[in-house]
Amino acid sequence: MDEIVNKLSKLHLQDLQNEQHPSIFDENEDYNLFIVRVPVIEESVTTRSMGFILTNEQAFFYNVQEQSLELLENFHLSVHKVVNKQTDKLLKSFVKFQESVLEMEESLYANTTDSNFLKNWLSVKLEILKIEKTLLRATTTLEEYMKYFATIDENTSNHFTDLHEHLERVMRSATLQLSKLDYLYSFYNAKSNDKMNKLIYLLTIISAIFLPLNLMVGFFGMNTTGLPFTSGNSGTFSAVSLMALLVVTSSVLMIVWRKYLEK
């Protein structure tokens, strides 16, 4: 182990110490550097990088907490075991986002969304995007590993094929959830626009009905002589009756016009 430690590049050591280092498979003359970063879903989405140093005959896992290399007994099977452990946790915990998207979908269809819908939507989408981006590079790096060690036995190769399939399964699910979120956003916008159009339509009708009344009030509010209904005791009643007639007439005209447009 001391021999491989002495050959280890300082830059590669820094990469191994970085728990957020992107996935990478770097071929070198004395050893190969293999780092896999997978999402970790807890309160929020974080990532964890697992680093390995691989020679022709041995594999070493870098323990970040101890800051030391640990010799793995079964080479590829041990590498698979370390990565697969985190992948299994990811498979189980990703259900959380599937349920979140489903809840948003049901609330939107049932018209029970609250004012925090867009905030929750954006939060979920950003976290799923992080998962998809991380897994896209992880699966590509794992493919490079499998291609480089193409001569390993069939049983071990099947283990890595399953691991790759599990990572791709979560990535495909993340892509599907992102598509659903985009659809929900479009549907939410359509419903919001429909409400706004109905409100504008209502305000337009009210304005059309009361516009003649405003003109009439403005007319009788002029400080001029000879205005109608200024003499006699029934002037106010006559003016109110005229305004009521205008409201009824405007309303009938709006109804007729609406039916004409709906034909």
Domain range annotation of the chain: 2-195
The CATH code of domain 2-195 reads 1.20.58
- pLDDT > 70: percent of the chain: 92
Q: 242: pLDDT confidence band, cut at 50, 70 and 90?
A: confident
Question: Per residue in 146-191, pLDDT tens?
Answer: 999 988 888 899 999 999 999 999 999 999 999 999 999 999 988 8
Question: Per residue in 61-120, pLDDT tens?
Answer: 999 988 899 999 989 999 999 999 999 999 999 999 999 999 999 998 888 888 889 999
Mean pLDDT of the chain: 87
* DSSP state letters, the chain: -HHHHHHS-HHHHHHHH-TTPPPEEEE-SS-EEEEEEEEEESSSEEEEEEEEEE-SS-EEEEETTTTEEEEETTTHHHHHHHHHHHHHHHHHHTHHHHHHHHHHHHHHHTT---TTHHHHHHHHHHHHHHHHHHHHHHHHHHHHHHHHTTTS-HHHHHHHHHHHHHHHHHHHHHHHHHHHHHHHHHHHHHHHHHHHHHHHHHHHHHHHHHHHHHHHHHHHTS--SS-TT-SSS-HHHHHHHHHHHHHHHHHHHHHHHHHHHH-
